Homo-oligomer: A and B are copies of this chain.
Amino acid sequence: MFWNEEIETMPRQDLEELQLKKLQSTVKRAFEKIPYYNKRYSEAEVYPEDIETLKDIEKLPFITKDDLRESYPFGLFAVDIKEIKELHSSSGTTGKPVVSGYTEKDLDTWAETIARGLTMMGIGEDDILQNTHGYGMFTGGFGVHYGSHKVGAAIIPISTGQTRRQIEIMKDFGATGLIFTPSYGIHLAEVALEDGIDPKELGIKAIGFGAEGWTEEIRQRVEELFGTKAYNIYGLTELMGPGVGIECEAQKGLHIAEDIYYPEIIDPNTQQVLGENTPGELVLTNLEREGMPVIRFRTKDLTKITYEKCECGRTHARMSRITGRSDDMIKVKGVAIFPSQIEKALLKVGDAEPHYMIIVTRPGTLDEIEVKVEVSQDIFFDGVKEMMAVQNKIGKSIENETGIRVKVTLVEPKTLPRFEGKAKRVIDERNLH
C-alpha cells in the first residue's frame, strides 16, 4: 500500500532529476529572497547557477542551529508574513528558540510526508489514531494531526499526560493506532498493566514512535507490550517537523521523503560528504518549502543511508535509526560513548528494565560514570548475592559495548524519573565544578 505510489516508487534516475530541479529552484529562491543566504553564498562565491548537478550541493555552505537562532524570529522567511499560516518553534532551552514558518502549501507538504508514513503503517480512513505527542509550539503533535486528516483516519488529539485517561479512551474509543515517544509508550503500558489491562488486548494495529532516541531493544519491548509493530518516525522542527523519514513494513530503515528532503551524510569533524552506508552526521535540505527553505542543515544526528531498493518496493533512500548526536556524545576518559550504547548493553541483560540514568562525575582528575538501572521486583527479593550477580552482568555488558568500566547501581522498580517528552538520561556533573 502506497500513499503516493508514483513518487514513492519512482526510478532513482527520475527521482534525482526531480530533486535537482527542486534544489535549483530552492537555492535560487533562497538566494533572491533571503538576505542570510545571499550574504553567505556571495561570501563563499557560490551562486544558484553553479548548481548543475546534485553533487554541486557540496559547494554550498552548511547552515547550523546557531545560524537559525541568529535569524530569530523571521530572518529566514522567503515570503511575506501574510503568506505564513502557522508558526512553530523549538523549545529554546539553550539560547533563543528556532522558529519555523509554514505557508498553506507547506502545511500540505508536511501532511503529505506523514500521510505516506501512516499508509506504510497500515493506518487509513478506517482507523482511529490516538496521538499522545504534545501540541503547541512543538511540531510533534501537529505533524501527525495533519497527516491523519490527510489519510482520513479519526484523530484523537489527546497529547501527552493524563495517562489513566489515555488508557480509558484507548479502550473506549477503540483506538487502532498509537503515536508516542518510546518512553511514554512503555509508561502507558506499565500503567495499563497495573490497572489489570493487557495492552495487547486493546486491538492496536500499529504504533508510530519518535521524538527521542531509541534502540532495537526498546522497540522490541514496545512491540511485545502492545503485541503489534512499532514504526519509527523521524523529523525535526527546523526542517518542518516529523515526517523526514518513516519506516515501512520491512522495518529496515526509515524511508526519507526524498522528493521533499535532500539528505547527505558528512563526517562531523572534517565536514566531508561520506558515501552510502558510512555512519556520520545527517545533513538535510528542504526541496519543497515555500515559507522557510533550509539548505544543508547540520542536524547533529548520527546515522547512515542506503540507496538500495527496499523490499517494500519504495526507491527512496533509507536512513538507519539515529544512534546518537554528534554533540551529546559523552567523552569519558578520552573515549566517545553514547547513551544508546549503554541502553543497548543493559537491555541485553534480561533482568534490567529499560529505565536508567547515566551520571558522569570527576571526583578527582579522572572521569567516572555511574549507571543507575531499575531492576525487577524479583531481584530485590532474591537477596544481596543475586543482586551482586546482576550488577556484575550489567557492568560487563556495558564494558563490552563501550570499552569502559562503569559503576552500576541497581535501584528499585519505578524509582527513576519517567519522561513524557524527550528522555533526559545523562547527568553530566563535571561541568558543575
Contact residues in B for A92 (Cβ distance below 8 Å): 165
A89, A154, A155, most chain B CB atoms within 10 A: A154
> Which of A134-142, A194-202, A261-269, A328-336 contacts its partner?
A134-142
Contact residues in B for A89 (Cβ distance below 8 Å): 169
Residue of B nearest to A175 (CB): B87
- How would you classify the secondary structure of chain A's contact residues: helix, strand, loop or mixed? mixed
Contact residues in B for A23 (Cβ distance below 8 Å): none
User: Cβ of A152 < 8 Å from any Cβ of B?
Assistant: yes
User: Cβ of A125 < 8 Å from any Cβ of B?
Assistant: yes
User: Would you call A154 and B73 a contact (CB within 8 A)?
Assistant: no
Scan A136-172; emit 1 where CB is below 8 A from any B CB, else 0.
Answer: 1100011000001100111111110000010001001
User: Would you call A154 and B72 a contact (CB within 8 A)?
Assistant: no
Instruction: Knowing A73-B173, A172-B72, A172-B73, say if A87 contacts B135 (CB, 8 Å).
Output: no
A64 vs B88: C-alpha distance when bound (angstroms): 39
Instruction: Knowing A101-B154, A157-B136, say if A173 contacts B128 (CB, 8 Å).
Output: no
User: Would you call A157 and B135 a contact (CB within 8 A)?
Assistant: yes
User: Cβ of A45 < 8 Å from any Cβ of B?
Assistant: no
User: Cβ of A49 < 8 Å from any Cβ of B?
Assistant: no
Residue of B nearest to A149 (CB): B85
Among candidates B107, B154, B172, residue contacting A81 with C-beta atoms closer than 8 Å: B154
Contact residues in B for A157 (Cβ distance below 8 Å): 86, 88, 135-137, 142
Contact residues in B for A155 (Cβ distance below 8 Å): 85-87
A159 to chain B, nearest CB (A): 4
Contact residues in B for A73 (Cβ distance below 8 Å): 172-173
Contact residues in B for A85 (Cβ distance below 8 Å): 148-149, 152-155
Contact residues in B for A55 (Cβ distance below 8 Å): none
User: Cβ of A82 < 8 Å from any Cβ of B?
Assistant: yes
User: Cβ of A179 < 8 Å from any Cβ of B?
Assistant: no
User: Would you call B141 and A158 a contact (CB within 8 A)?
Assistant: no
- Which residues of chain A in 121-136 are interfacial with respect to chain B, using CB atoms and an 8 Å cutoff? 125-126, 128, 135-136
Among candidates B87, B99, B154, B159, residue contacting A87 with C-beta atoms closer than 8 Å: B154
A157 to chain B, nearest CB (A): 6
A126 vs B74: C-alpha distance when bound (angstroms): 15
Contact residues in B for A153 (Cβ distance below 8 Å): 85
A158 to chain B, nearest CB (A): 6
A104 vs B165: C-alpha distance when bound (angstroms): 26
User: Cβ of A84 < 8 Å from any Cβ of B?
Assistant: yes
Contact residues in B for A156 (Cβ distance below 8 Å): 87, 137
Contact residues in B for A142 (Cβ distance below 8 Å): 157
Contact residues in B for A165 (Cβ distance below 8 Å): 92
User: Would you call B87 and A128 a contact (CB within 8 A)?
Assistant: yes
Contact residues in B for A148 (Cβ distance below 8 Å): 85
A87 to chain B, nearest CB (A): 5
A73 to chain B, nearest CB (A): 5
A128 vs B99: C-alpha distance when bound (angstroms): 14
A89 vs B88: C-alpha distance when bound (angstroms): 25
Residues of A within 8 A of B (CB): 72-74, 81-82, 84-89, 92, 99, 101, 104, 107, 125-126, 128, 135-137, 141-142, 148-149, 152-159, 165, 169, 172-173
Q: A85-B152, A86-B149, A137-B158 are in contact. List 15 more A-B contacts (CB 8 A).
A: A72-B172, A73-B172, A81-B126, A81-B154, A85-B148, A85-B149, A92-B165, A104-B149, A104-B152, A135-B136, A135-B157, A136-B159, A137-B157, A137-B169, A142-B157
- 29 residue pairs A–B, Cβ–Cβ below 8 Å: A73-B172, A73-B173, A74-B173, A81-B126, A81-B128, A82-B125, A82-B126, A82-B152, A85-B148, A85-B149, A85-B154, A86-B149, A86-B154, A86-B155, A87-B128, A87-B154, A87-B155, A88-B157, A89-B169, A92-B165, A101-B154, A104-B149, A104-B152, A107-B149, A135-B135, A135-B136, A135-B157, A136-B158, A137-B157
